[in-house]
Amino acid sequence: MESWVCTPFFAKTVIGCFVRIGIGNHNGKPVYRVAEILGVVETAKIYQFGKARINTGFKLGHGRDKRVYRLEFVSNQDFTETEFTKWRENINSQGMNLPTKEEVEKKLRDVVDATNHQFTDEEIGRIVEEKKRFRNYPLKFASKKVQLMKDKELAEINENDGEVRRVKAEIEMLEERAMEFDSMRNSGIHAVRFINERNRKRNREEKIVILKDDQNETYDPWVRKNRMTSKSRDSLLKSSSYLVEKKIGESELGVKSQNDLFSAHDFDIEIDLDLTEAPKRSLGLVV
């Protein structure tokens, strides 16, 4: 459907086909129904479908219930046995007829013809114009609306009611596109502003924390900062410390041994000498 949605034969091809449509959720699981395509209509919402922006919708029938759905709710999966059984029971209970074999074969031929269709230059031009209707970029809405207003006035002067209705519908669609574009642009601006404000707030908070840490900490150039150390570095430091201590111990031991060697002869003795030419006295000698 994505490749056919903007073609001139799209409606003729799909009307009479059946689709698997998502109708909501039940107990957290999506619910689908088998529905027949009764018509192709324009919806109030412009949405993305594949690579194109469209406002196309399907008028679907499930039994006697009819409702318009956007194409984005159509499933790409096949019907399940339960979904098909429920649809058939609904048709029978409401006294409606099931599709005949001839109807199915005719619709199959329509699908095959659409698949093998050779586009003319005129059809390609119409497809391009159809895809340009809802392109998501800023258009010259003001100048376009001025031209439409002139066309409307001219149609009113000529009392062409059909042309007046057509131009009014085009003006309303143009205004809707302008409002949608403004909404998208404003939402993008708000998102950017929110991100910028959040980043500024985070930067301010980080700066406040850094300033508080600087105020609480007195700078001392001789204080060693804590650093992460690995096991190998710790082992190296311990080994170096051990070697230094061992060297100092050996030095102290050598000094002590030398002191002990001299101290073995470091004692006081008294020697009395009987000298006739000098008075008797006691000398304290250290040997």
Q: What is the pLDDT of residues 8-41, one digit of tens each?
A: 899 999 999 999 999 888 888 899 999 999 999 9
Name the band, by pLDDT with cuts 50, 70 and 90, for residue 286. very low
CATH number for the domain whose boundaries are 9-134: 3.90.70.200
Q: Which residues on neighbouring strands pair with residue 40, listed in sequence order?
A: 58
Torsion over CA: 41, 14, 31, 54 (sign): negative
Q: At what angle do helices 161-216 and 141-157 cross, to 10 degrees?
A: 160
Task: Summarize pLDDT for 146-202 with one digit per residue, the tens.
Answer: 888 888 888 888 888 888 888 888 888 878 877 777 676 666 555 666 777 777 888
Q: Decide: 2 and 49 in contact? Cβ < 8 Å.
A: yes
Q: Decide: 8 and 56 in contact? Cβ < 8 Å.
A: no
- Nearest CA to 113 among 124, 125, 105? 105
- Nearest CA to 41 among 1, 71, 64, 65? 71
CA distance 24 to 30: 6
Rounded to whole angstroms, the maximal C-alpha distance in the chain is 172
Q: Which residues on neighbouring strands pair with residue 54, listed in sequence order?
A: 47
Q: What is the residue extent of each domain of the chain? A: 9-134, 142-212
141-168: burial string, b at 16+ Cβ within 10 Å, e else = eeeeeeebeebbeebeeeeeeeebeebe
CA distance 248 to 252: 6
Cut 0.95: pTM above it: no
